[in-house]
Amino acid sequence: MNRLLENTQPVMVKPTLEPLSCQSENTLLVRIFEQDEFHSPYHFHPEIELTAILKGEGNRFVGNNMSAYGTNDLVLIGPNLPHCWKNTSRGETINARSVVVQFDKSLFGDGFFEKHQAWHIVHLLLTSQQGIHFSGPENQQVIDHMLDMASAGTPYKKLILLLEVLDILAASQNRTLLNDELVVSSAALHHYHRLNAVQGFIIDNFRTKVTLQEIAGLARMSTNAFCKYYKKTTGRTATEAVMAYRLKYARQQLLSTNKTVAEICFDSGFTDMAFFYKTFRAHMGRSPGNYRKEYIKNLNPDEPTF
């Protein structure tokens, strides 16, 4: 199948390596962002990142995972793990507010946590390479510490607060790995950039119509060579990757909006209702309408059905 979907002027900013820019010698940076929406494209950097959403809602992309986010969303992202946030909320001057902490493990010196037998933090930082989402009551305490870090007067105070944050997160039982396996590849850097450019393009355009030739061209490969490369690298085809994002988006819309199934079908990037129903049923075991009805019924188990 040479054509995924047709496209009209897709917009895409190629994901790039985002270097951590610190004025001090210590690789620790704390920033608060207030924007009309989150503008960073799908990108990666060698530093570990902790991001807390103070305002906004939409979809979060970490590695191969796509999940909805809202206020107080808290995620720890390991080195070189691609990520970005996309807003769905609009209408105000500030629709996106976040506090972001970025640091390099070398900040603490070689073997710092191992020497102090802080094995819970060692494990936390290792598993951060898969992306970790936190959802417990301790989130607010962590966010308060992050905000204190942003206003801390000295690097030393920032460092102490960071250690406290890592201790809290490492002890948390309310966490979910966003990727089942490591997304960061040990391949050569040019292969890594190529794959993330493709993933970023898919994320920016999965709700529009794009051609397989267009994606292959982005990777500077022939269509056949690209299909083999993508399948070998990710374990699925580019068509399957696009479809997975569309289905995930459709499921979110079914559960969080009052849009009709037809509206959701086309808004998610599908161009044919029959194909949408067939694909949705094949993956979810039920029709889009029944998927929504079952969700509502589970929210209100005592409500009679007719």
pLDDT tens series, the chain, 306 aa: 444 443 333 333 333 445 454 444 458 999 999 988 888 889 888 999 999 999 999 999 999 899 999 999 999 999 989 999 998 876 678 889 999 999 998 888 888 999 999 999 999 999 999 999 999 999 999 999 999 999 998 999 999 999 999 999 999 999 999 998 776 544 455 566 788 889 899 999 999 988 899 999 988 899 999 999 988 888 889 999 999 999 999 999 999 899 999 999 999 999 999 999 999 999 999 999 999 999 888 876 555 443
Which of 100, 96, 80 lies closest to 88, judged by CA? 96
Q: Residue 33 is encoded by which pair of tokens?
A: 């962002």
Count CB-CB contacts under 10 A for residue 69: 23
Distance of CA 220 to the CA centre of its chain: 25
The strands making up 48-55's β-sheet, listed across from edge to edge, are 28-35, 96-103, 48-55, 74-77, 132-134, 175-177
Q: How far apart are CA 98 and CA 38, in angstroms?
A: 9
Q: Rounded to the nearest 10 degrees, how much is the dihedral formed by the CA atoms of 170, 109, 179, 123?
A: -40
Burial class (CB in 10 A: 0-12, 13-18, 19+), 181: exposed
CA distances from residue 122 to 62, 69, 117, 128, 186 in whole angstroms, order as listed: 21, 27, 9, 10, 21
What distance in Å separates the CA atoms of residue 123 and residue 78, rounded to the nearest whole number?
A: 12
Task: Give the CA count within 13 Å in the CB-facing half-sphere of 47.
Answer: 21
Candidates 55, 180, 69, 84; CA nearest to 129 is 180
The β-bridge relationship of strands 74-77 and 58-62 is unpaired
Q: Cα-atom radius of gyration of the chain, to the nearest Å?
A: 21
pLDDT of residue 306: 38
- Does this model's pTM top 0.85? My answer is no
Q: How far is the CA of 241 from the CAs of 64, 93, 198, 219, 227, in angstroms? A: 9, 34, 11, 16, 12
- In the prediction, which pLDDT does 303 show? 52
End-to-end CA distance of the chain: 43
